[in-house]
A and B are shown apart, each in its own frame.
Chain A
Amino acid sequence: MLAAVPSSTVLGVDGYSVVVEIHTSDGLPGCAIVGLPDAACREARDRVRSALLSSGIPFPQQRITINLAPSNVRKTGSAFDLAIAVGLLVTSGKVRPDAVEDFGFIGELGLDGSVRAVDGIVPLVNAVRARSVVVPASLVHQAAVCGNDIRGVATLADLVDILNGDGSWIRPEHIALREPLNEPDLIDVRGQPMARWALEVAAAGGHNLLMTGPPGSGKTMLARRLPALLPDLDEQTAAVATRVHSAAGLLTSERPLVWRPPFRDPHHTSTRQAIVGGGSQSIRPGEASLAHGGVLFLDEMAEFPRQVLDTLRQPLESGELVIARAYATARLPARFLLIGAMNPCPCGEGMAPGQCRCSDVTRNRYLSRLSGPLLDRFDVRVNVMRPRPDAFFELADSEPSHRVAERVAVARDRALQRNVRCNADLAPAELDRYAPLSRVASSLLRKQMRYGLLSGRGFHRIVRVALTLSDLRKPDAPIDAEIEEEDVCAALELRPEKQFVEMVS
């Protein structure tokens, strides 16, 4: 007897369609699973056997061969349990073949016959080649996010009954997908006007931001308030982000959809794989992928190992990470806004005049941990100082996030009109077209270059940031309006190069 049941496995963040073939014949009773199963897949045999017996169904005493096709792709995880059980039910006649036609099955089985949740349900469901997909009851809401026809089932016994016409599927209810999250608000920040400007510009133009300052100056607090300024994820990005978070096992029934930009802040002791993704079995997404569509915050950036920081260059350039293994290559999405925070020197006091106690050697060694090419990725840099105690009490409230977010949304819209996702993506040729400089602005920049204070790449960086500032200041101007000196001067205040050079020299 032969049965074929659609299911799937996950590679990276994408599902891969798998057909579970069951073949039973006379001969010495035995059960073999083929098709490059990993340990969890192989153990399915025992789980399925106990689950069937616990549900009052005898395990066929025949020679059974289970093939997970295609046979040359590694299969991982316990999500095939359900499909294998269904296949056995069909071959042993407990369920009619036409009852399972056009159904896919995903789920792990407990020894008591219950159907258990698995990680990565979203990419799994996306990949199954069947009209309807049967999933564990606890995952119906998460699985339904992708729009397939989802049926849930709680136990194997229930499944047998339903397939034989007795009982009904558990259907996903219509729940509010976009529950408001509790994102920290910018209104909590006192003073720090330059830092707040920098956040607004970074959010509006998609510019990577580097904050330098002593401990306790509020860098982490500021970074956490960036996601609230960003607009909701568009459909496509939300779908990708949801897939990634599902593959990492981070979604819940209450929050099955990722619709707000994620905020990820890995600790500097994280391994390279934790940040970038990988792993020896299935290629699991790392922090960089989990930040897709949102913000990746590297606190104490100089403490991260250099190789870890270097691996981020690929996603910063192309928006994805290509992880190649001997048996497969996975492309993990990783398009994020990078925020870095660091101290100016090991003692942390290097910015207050006359306070730093570090020797030249230690300071230079500390600063040289960040490679030039990585620093080059930061369009905006700002020094964050500790607020003076009296200032802390005197200051008026800052603007709340939603007001800043309105301006940011308008600026981002203008970028879309320029056919890019955000201003930071504009190439130099497009900059010439969309960001012509006024006479004064142009002469200011030329003077900077003449005194060796600005390089060619720095020039384009300044113009991009000036364009974002211009979008924020004059949202109603035409999208290729001239950039004026206010915006160029403001961009120079926020620029990466000179401050940093001053710190090092």
Chain B
Amino acid sequence: MWRDACAVALAELPEMTPARLNRLLADMPPDVAWEALATGDLVNSIEVNSKKLADALGRWRAIANRVEPLQKMERYAEREISVWHRYGLYLDRLKDDEHAPAVLFAQGDANALAAPTVAIIGTRQCSPEGRSVAKVFGAELAEAGVSVVSGLALGIDGAAHAGALESAFGALPIGVVGCGLDVPYPKRHTKLWEELKGHGLLISESPLGTRPEPWRFPARNRIIAGLADLVLVIESHEAGGSLLTVNEAADRGVPIMAVPGSIWNPACKGSNRLIADGAPPACSTQDVLDFLALELSYALPSSPGTAREAHWTEIPEADQVVLDAVGFSSTSTDEILLKTCLPLGEVAVALARLESLGLVIREEGWWFRVQATGGG
């Protein structure tokens, strides 16, 4: 307990960075480090090769003499936040990782880490389809007993977790964030954060109250890569941030798969390039599970996009014309009107009927077609 408290106190020092924390805790446990800091002996035990660090050590010494670690620990105990470090409880998965964080804070159910994990990552500026695909993969993987790991960012990350949380008895999802566990970022995902804490696991390298500074995000990506058994990229722009996570994964020997996307969609350029460079394409959840050598425990609908059962009933010819005009990738009502040359009223009614049959879906003002379950 004392050790954990010292770990918290060290992490909460101003100007503390993951790299510095690693240096401090490389050869000594947190309680020893704390005391050494207070007495000033620390300067002798670790290599100080920059003036900045030397100055920081000086300031920290003053703080170490004022602050009481157990007091700092209270906040964490209240919220039932676990503190993990190498000298206490630590994640098996990250034990051998070179760049593993020295201290991790986690809120939620640690059992989430017991299941196989798949990291779902992608761009923040995704297309409506990408969002839909992420949600379905998230949901189906969770149903199959796989913990979905992601960064809770806008776009793909958020959608994947939204999907994973939808499945009532599925595996618990894991979220890794770059700021304090009490600073939901982005604001829009506040509800998602809370849900993840209740049904899943939320992990952060930063102590409570840390604001989401830009440099913390690439840093947390290495944790995502470290925790994953497989990294799945759903949509990425050509120079997207998700590619950095892919690099971290490659460095650690974690397999990478990508979902192929429309060649017209700029958000798929990066992910398509990954496939061209050798990443196996993930065209369905089963592909991912096969790669992980898992079997689905029950039959799933065969393709993304079916939130409802699609019944292949007889549809009138007029509706068929409209259905044919809707593509499998985002189609606007304008395009449908141009292709069918029908008046707006007829097209609108046909789309409404097709939507109620589950043959087309409307997402963010764009239409797209859904594959029906084979065989009727």
Q: Give the B-binding residues of A (Cβ under 8 A).
A: 191-195, 197, 351, 353-357, 360, 383, 385, 391, 395, 444, 469, 473, 485-487, 489-490, 492-494, 498-499, 502
Contact = CB atoms under 8 A, between A and B. Distances in A.
A193 B351 CA distance: 16
Given A353-B126, A353-B128, A493-B348, 6 more contacts: A193-B334, A194-B334, A354-B235, A489-B349, A490-B345, A502-B365
B188 A360 contact: yes
A385 B332 contact: yes
B265 interface: yes
B125 A354 contact: yes
Contacts of A351: 365
B338 A391 contact: yes
A356 B334 contact: no
B188 A489 contact: no
B182 interface: no
Question: Mostly helix, strand, loop or mixed at chain A's interface?
Answer: helix
Contacts of B126: 353-354
6 contacts: A194-B337, A194-B344, A353-B126, A354-B125, A360-B154, A494-B344
Contacts of A486: 345-346, 348-349
Contact of A192 (B123, B127, B154, B334): B334
B351 A385 contact: no
B366 interface: yes
Nearest to A200: B344
A193 B129 CA distance: 24
Contacts of B154: 360
A469 B344 CA distance: 10
Nearest to A201: B344
A295 to B, nearest CB: 22
A191 B344 CA distance: 14
B333 interface: yes
- Candidate in B129, B188, B333, B345 with the most chain A CB atoms within 10 angstroms: B345
Contacts of A487: 345
Contacts of A195: 334
A189 B88 CA distance: 71
A354 B130 contact: yes
A195 B337 CA distance: 11
B198 interface: no
Interface in B152-184: 154
A439 B351 CA distance: 18
A383 B364 CA distance: 12
B186 interface: yes
A347 to B, nearest CB: 11
A249 to B, nearest CB: 43
A480 B187 CA distance: 49
Interface string B229-251: 00000010100000000000000
Contacts of B349: 485-486, 489-490
A395 B335 CA distance: 12
Contacts of A391: 338
B212 interface: no
A141 B129 CA distance: 64
Interface string B338-376: 100001111011011000000000001110000000000
B266 interface: yes
Contacts of A489: 345, 348-349, 351-352
Contacts of B123: 354
B267 interface: yes
A95 B61 CA distance: 107
B150 interface: no
A157 to B, nearest CB: 67
A485 B352 CA distance: 10
B173 to A, nearest CB: 22
Contacts of B365: 351, 383, 498-499, 502
B330 interface: yes
A357 B240 CA distance: 12
Contact of B344 (A385, A395, A444, A493): A493
Contacts of A383: 332, 365
A354 B351 contact: no
Interface string B313-335: 00000000000000000101110
B333 A357 contact: no
Contact of B266 (A193, A354, A385, A493): A354
B348 A490 contact: yes
A502 B364 contact: yes
A354 B268 CA distance: 9
Nearest to A394: B338
A203 to B, nearest CB: 15
- Candidate in A192, A193, A485 with the most chain B CB atoms within 10 angstroms: A193
Nearest to B127: A353
B352 A444 contact: yes
Given A193-B338, A194-B337, A353 B345 contact: no
Contacts of A499: 365
Contacts of A192: 334
Nearest to A489: B348
B265 A354 contact: yes
A178 B3 CA distance: 93
A407 to B, nearest CB: 12
B235 A395 contact: no
B284 to A, nearest CB: 22
- Candidate in B130, B346, B348 with the most chain A CB atoms within 10 angstroms: B348
Given A360-B188, A395-B338, A499-B365, A493 B127 contact: no
A96 to B, nearest CB: 72
A370 B280 CA distance: 47
Interface string B103-134: 00000000000000000000101111110000
B191 to A, nearest CB: 13
B334 A357 contact: no
A356 B126 CA distance: 9
Given A486-B345, A499-B365, A356 B332 contact: no
A382 B368 CA distance: 19
A195 B332 CA distance: 12
- 3 pairs of A and B residues whose beta carbons are closest in the complex: A354-B267, A353-B127, A486-B345
A62 to B, nearest CB: 78
Contacts of B187: 360
Given A354-B130, A492-B348, A194 B330 contact: no
B334 A353 contact: no
Contact of B265 (A191, A353, A357, A490): A353
Nearest to A358: B125
A381 to B, nearest CB: 11
Nearest to A395: B338
A465 to B, nearest CB: 11
A308 B332 CA distance: 34
A197 B344 contact: yes
B333 A353 contact: no
A485 B343 CA distance: 14
Contacts of A444: 352
Nearest to A396: B341
A31 to B, nearest CB: 71
A199 to B, nearest CB: 12
A191 B267 contact: no
A193 B340 CA distance: 11
Contacts of A490: 344-345, 348-349
A493 B267 contact: no
A391 B267 CA distance: 23
Contacts of A353: 126-130, 265, 267, 330, 364, 366
A192 B332 CA distance: 11
A387 to B, nearest CB: 9
Contacts of A191: 334, 338
- Candidate in B125, B186, B237 with the most chain A CB atoms within 10 angstroms: B125
A355 B125 contact: yes
Contacts of B130: 353-354
Contacts of A473: 343, 345
